[in-house]
């Protein structure tokens, strides 16, 4: 079943067409990758899917609802979560609190009930903290719960952002270059985490430059070049696709394909 | 989970401070000192709201004296001119300042940038003129006098000690609610907003809604403090609610520091006492006190500049660093 349908999405910034008439589907339970040379429009596409940006044309259907024009918080509630290319953690909060904040959309305590410390809000807090602890362990950060986000090493920060995104209880998880800056061991740990997340029933759409990771984990790949989709298919076919190879020629990633 | 558990030493410390604060009227019969400390309590109520707004949600208001004034004049008018019960006056003051805060926050917080600071600055000036010109309600530049003491049922709170307990009782409840709030989902959302707006959006936090709520709460607390103040002093005039009071409130929040309630409360005690230094420093000469009072605005201004330059995080940040050293030493 198609969980996400992107149809003819176009986004222009002045004279530049950052995303040019892009259409593709993400099927439930899949890990799908979006790749392409720098400036291909991958992050802009992510921003459109999460309402950080609005498309000029086209539609985005998530679970049969057109989500274009929804505010970000509604999209999160609908079940789309994301991470950022430049991690957007809450530096002065602990890892556990970062993940607990991710549960904002799926919890209820308001200003008044929290100020009065009503019993149900105390229970909700405890449940949120327990779930946040579970998610930290899922991404391998169990022993870092009390550390400030600012004190975490780079590789762990990306995992923390994934745990925070999972706390929103997403059906679709968008990961923007999760392996950037990770060493080989950390990338392998990330791949394991992605499988565990997928096995929990979360569909994953990933933007990534690390071709080894992309080829290993993804079921399907969409290739963008200068905003337009130039190929789509399973990793083996993408690796041999002449248009893809041409797009990457002269790019340092070309030999990695 | 460790830091979420409330430290037993913190609980004992808070209980001791609370006991000391509430014992003051028993320990001293100095009416002047009690009055000054009552003003400190009034400011603590307002600054609690400012701490949520500035220290947690990262928004600046330059017009909170206006809400303070709206609360004071509302309750004074309702109780003194209309003859309604004191509690009605206080409740109406809070309702009116909530509404005012909402009207001001909704348009200015939808926009990115410093629109709230500008809007509150303008609002403060508008209200200052209203306080002077709406003579029928406010008494104009001569002020509003003869405001009766607080009374509930047949009980009138007319002693200096009684008013002290009233104000600090309300301040304690306000602080307890605020302390619960900052440790909750809403408090996390506020700190998240301060930390990374993109991250907060990705967590499904409605940024505008959150900012508006915090602003309305801070306005309501200023209104509550104003209503209580009016009945404690019995006389209010426009100068009590002018821009320099708004700046003083910002100075307290800035000196107090971010992500803290204790820091701003401490800053409030210090800065409120400056013009009344003779209440705690025995033998302070008349001329020395006058000099302090003449220069007090400069003290507030310099405080803001000094904190921003030299003490990032304010008193709260300094306290955290000290306790951080303590922890490392253990």
Contacts of B41 (CB under 8 A, 6+ apart): B164, B167, B168, B170, B171
**Contact residues, chain B, for A164 at CB < 8 Å:** 199, 202-203
Q: Tens digits of per-residue pLDDT, A6-63?
A: 999 999 999 899 999 999 999 999 999 999 998 889 999 999 999 999 999 999 999 9
Give the mean pLDDT of B236-255.
Answer: 93
A78, closest residue in chain B (CA to CA): B204
Instruction: Give the pair of three-digit tokens for residue A16.
Output: 């530049």
Give the mean pLDDT of B134-146.
Answer: 93
B198, closest residue in chain A (CA to CA): A88
- Assigned domain for B169 exists: yes
Structure confidence at residue B227 as a pLDDT band (50, 70, 90): very high
What residue ranges define each of the domains in chain A, with the CATH number in brackets?
1-79+171-257 (3.40.50.300), 90-169 (no CATH)
Give the mean pLDDT of B59-69.
Answer: 95
In this prediction, residue B53 carries a pLDDT of 95
- Assigned domain for B272 exists: no
Q: The domain containing residue B238 runs over which residues?
A: 30-249
Task: Give the gap in angstroms from C-alpha B11 to the nearest C-alpha of chain A.
Answer: 17
Contacts of A113 (CB under 8 A, 6+ apart): A120, A121
Structure confidence at residue B326 as a pLDDT band (50, 70, 90): very low
- Does A89 sit within 8 Å of B199, measured CB to CB? yes
Among partner residues B180, B181, B202, which is closest to A82 by beta-carbon distance?
A: B202
- Does B1 sit within 8 Å of A104, measured CB to CB? no
- Chain pair A-B, CB pairs under 8 angstroms: 111
**Contact residues, chain A, for B185 at CB < 8 Å:** 103-104, 107, 109, 114, 121, 124-125, 128
More confident residue, B169 or B277: B169
In this prediction, residue B3 carries a pLDDT of 45
- The answer to whether residues B74 and B56 touch, using CB atoms and an 8 Å cutoff, is no
Instruction: Give the pair of three-digit tokens for residue A119.
Output: 């019993």
Contacts of A156 (CB under 8 A, 6+ apart): A141, A144
In this prediction, residue A255 carries a pLDDT of 54
Tell whether the model's pLDDT for residue A256 goes beyond 70. no
**Contact residues, chain A, for B212 at CB < 8 Å:** none
- Does A50 sit within 8 Å of B196, measured CB to CB? no
Task: Give the gap in angstroms from C-alpha A85 to the nearest C-alpha of chain B.
Answer: 12
B183, closest residue in chain A (CA to CA): A114
For an interface test with A, the pick among B56, B202, B320 (most A C-beta atoms closer than 10 Å) comes out as B202
Among partner residues B186, B195, B201, which is closest to A90 by beta-carbon distance?
A: B195
Rg (CA), chain A: 19
Tell whether the model's pLDDT for residue B211 goes beyond 70. yes
A106, closest residue in chain B (CA to CA): B204
Tell whether the model's pLDDT for residue B192 goes beyond 60. yes
B207, closest residue in chain A (CA to CA): A73
Among partner residues A94, A109, A164, which is closest to B184 by beta-carbon distance?
A: A109
**Contact residues, chain A, for B204 at CB < 8 Å:** 72-73, 76-77, 104-106, 168
In this prediction, residue B54 carries a pLDDT of 93
- The answer to whether residues B320 and B258 touch, using CB atoms and an 8 Å cutoff, is no
- Does B178 sit within 8 Å of A133, measured CB to CB? no
Task: Give the gap in angstroms from C-alpha B70 to the nearest C-alpha of chain A.
Answer: 23
CB-based contact, B146 to chain A, within 8 Å: no
Cα A170 from Cα A149, distance rounded (Å)? 22
Q: Tens digits of per-residue pLDDT, A210-230?
A: 999 999 999 999 999 999 999
- Assigned domain for B213 exists: yes
**Beta strand ranges found along A63-201 (DSSP E):** 65-66, 80-82, 172-176
CB-based contact, B204 to chain A, within 8 Å: yes
Task: Give the gap in angstroms from C-alpha B294 to the nearest C-alpha of chain A.
Answer: 40
- Assigned domain for B160 exists: yes
CB-based contact, B312 to chain A, within 8 Å: no
- Does A101 sit within 8 Å of B196, measured CB to CB? no
Structure confidence at residue B187 as a pLDDT band (50, 70, 90): very high
- Does A96 sit within 8 Å of B198, measured CB to CB? no
- Assigned domain for B129 exists: yes
- Assigned domain for B259 exists: no
**Residue A111 pairs with which residues in a beta bridge?**
none
SS3 of residue A23 by DSSP = strand
- Does A50 sit within 8 Å of B202, measured CB to CB? yes
CB neighbourhood size of B251 (10 A): 24
- Does B201 sit within 8 Å of A72, measured CB to CB? yes
Domain count, chain B: 1
- Does A101 sit within 8 Å of B189, measured CB to CB? yes
B189, closest residue in chain A (CA to CA): A101
DSSP assignment string, A33-78: EEE-STTSSHHHHHHHHTTSS--SEEEEEETTEE-TT--HHHHHHH
In this prediction, residue B107 carries a pLDDT of 87
Structure confidence at residue B131 as a pLDDT band (50, 70, 90): very high
B203, closest residue in chain A (CA to CA): A102
Give the mean pLDDT of B178-203.
Answer: 94
Please report the ipTM that was assigned to this predicted complex.
Answer: 0.93
DSSP assignment string, B18-69: HHHHHHHHHH---HHHHHHHHHHHHHHHHHHHHIIIIIIT----S-HHHHHH
Give the mean pLDDT of B280-305.
Answer: 85
Structure confidence at residue B7 as a pLDDT band (50, 70, 90): confident
Q: Tens digits of per-residue pLDDT, A119-178?
A: 999 999 999 999 999 999 999 999 999 999 999 998 899 999 999 999 999 999 999 999
Give the mean pLDDT of B137-154.
Answer: 92
Handedness of CA B82, B87, B89, B92 (dihedral sign): negative
Give the mean pLDDT of B188-200.
Answer: 93
In this prediction, residue B320 carries a pLDDT of 81
**Nearest-CA neighbor of B69 among B160, B130, B121, B8?**
B130
Structure confidence at residue B1 as a pLDDT band (50, 70, 90): very low
Q: Tens digits of per-residue pLDDT, B14-58?
A: 899 999 999 999 998 888 999 999 999 999 999 999 999 999 988
Instruction: Give the pair of three-digit tokens for residue B289.
Output: 């006190």
- Assigned domain for B159 exists: yes
Instruction: Give the pair of three-digit tokens for residue B318.
Output: 């300094």
Q: Tens digits of per-residue pLDDT, A55-80?
A: 999 999 999 999 999 999 999 999 99
Structure confidence at residue B302 as a pLDDT band (50, 70, 90): confident
Give the mean pLDDT of A73-96.
Answer: 96
Structure confidence at residue A252 as a pLDDT band (50, 70, 90): low
Give the mean pLDDT of B101-127.
Answer: 89
**Would you tell me the crossing angle of helices B31-50 and B8-27 to the nearest 10 degrees?**
140
Tell whether the model's pLDDT for residue B285 goes beyond 50. yes
Give the mean pLDDT of A245-256.
Answer: 66
**Nearest-CA neighbor of A212 among A35, A21, A12?**
A35
Among partner residues B3, B180, B192, which is closest to A101 by beta-carbon distance?
A: B192
- Assigned domain for B6 exists: no
Give the mean pLDDT of B159-164.
Answer: 94
In this prediction, residue A257 carries a pLDDT of 57
B259, closest residue in chain A (CA to CA): A92
- Does A146 sit within 8 Å of B198, measured CB to CB? no
Tell whether the model's pLDDT for residue B157 goes beyond 50. yes
Among partner residues B1, B188, B204, which is closest to A105 by beta-carbon distance?
A: B204
- Does B198 sit within 8 Å of A114, measured CB to CB? no
């Amino acid at each position: 079943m198609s969980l996400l349908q992107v149809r003819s999405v176009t986004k222009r910034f002045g004279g530049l067409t950052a995303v040019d008439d892009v259409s593709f589907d993400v099927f439930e339970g899949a890990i799908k990758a979006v790749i392409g040379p720098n400036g291909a429009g991958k992050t802009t596409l992510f921003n459109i899917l999460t309402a950080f940006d609005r498309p000029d044309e086209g539609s985005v259907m998530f679970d049969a609802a057109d989500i274009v024009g929804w505010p970000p918080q509604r999209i999160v509630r609908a079940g789309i979560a994301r991470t950022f290319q430049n991690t957007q953690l809450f530096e002065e909060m602990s890892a556990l609190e970062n993940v607990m904040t991710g549960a904002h959309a799926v919890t209820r305590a308001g200003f008044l009930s929290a100020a009065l410390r009503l019993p149900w809000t105390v229970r909700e807090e405890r449940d949120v903290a327990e779930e946040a602890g579970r998610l930290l362990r899922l991404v391998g950060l169990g022993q870092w719960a009390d550390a400030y986000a600012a004190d975490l090493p780079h590789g762990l920060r990306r995992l923390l952002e994934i745990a925070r995104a999972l706390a929103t209880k997403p059906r679709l998880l968008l990961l923007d270059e999760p392996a950037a800056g990770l060493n080989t061991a950390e990338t392998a740990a990330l791949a394991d985490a992605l499988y565990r997340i997928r096995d929990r029933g979360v569909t994953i759409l990933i933007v990534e430059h690390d071709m080894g990771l992309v080829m290993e984990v993804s079921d399907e790949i969409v290739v963008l070049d200068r905003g337009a989709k130039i190929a789509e298919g399973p990793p083996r076919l993408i690796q041999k696709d002449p248009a893809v190879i041409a797009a990457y020629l002269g790019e340092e990633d070309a030999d990695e394909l | 989970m460790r830091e979420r558990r409330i430290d037993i030493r913190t609980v004992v410390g808070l209980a001791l401070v609370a006991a000391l604060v509430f014992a003051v009227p028993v320990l001293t019969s100095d009416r002047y000192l009690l009055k000054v400390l009552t003003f400190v309590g009034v400011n603590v109520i307002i600054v609690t709201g400012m701490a949520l707004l500035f220290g947690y949600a990262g928004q600046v208001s330059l017009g909170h004296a206006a809400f303070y004034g709206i609360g004071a004049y509302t309750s004074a008018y309702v109780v003194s001119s209309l003859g309604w019960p004191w509690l009605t006056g206080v409740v109406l003051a809070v309702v009116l300042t909530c509404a005012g805060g909402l009207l001001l926050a909704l348009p200015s917080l939808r926009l990115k940038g410093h629109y709230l600071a500008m809007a509150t600055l303008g609002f403060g000036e508008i209200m200052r003129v209203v306080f002077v010109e709406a003579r029928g309600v406010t008494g104009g530049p001569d002020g509003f006098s003869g405001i009766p003491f607080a009374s509930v049922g047949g009980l009138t709170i007319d002693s200096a000690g009684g008013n002290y307990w009233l104000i600090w009782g309300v301040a304690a409840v306000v602080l307890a609610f605020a302390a619960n709030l900052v440790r909750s989902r809403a408090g996390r959302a506020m700190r998240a907003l301060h930390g990374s707006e993109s991250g907060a959006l990705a967590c499904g936090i409605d940024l505008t809604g959150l900012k508006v709520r915090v602003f309305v709460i801070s306005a309501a607390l200023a209104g509550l403090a104003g209503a209580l103040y009016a009945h404690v002093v019995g006389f209010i005039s426009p100068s009590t609610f002018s821009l320099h009071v708004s700046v003083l409130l910002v100075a307290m929040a800035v000196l107090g520091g971010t992500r803290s309630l204790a820091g701003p409360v401490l800053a409030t005690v210090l800065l409120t006492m400056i013009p009344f230094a003779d209440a705690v420093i025995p033998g302070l000469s008349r001329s020395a006190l006058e000099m302090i009072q003449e220069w007090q605005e400069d003290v507030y201004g310099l405080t803001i500049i000094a904190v921003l330059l030299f003490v990032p995080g304010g008193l709260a940040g300094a306290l955290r660093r000290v306790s951080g050293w303590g922890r490392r030493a253990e």
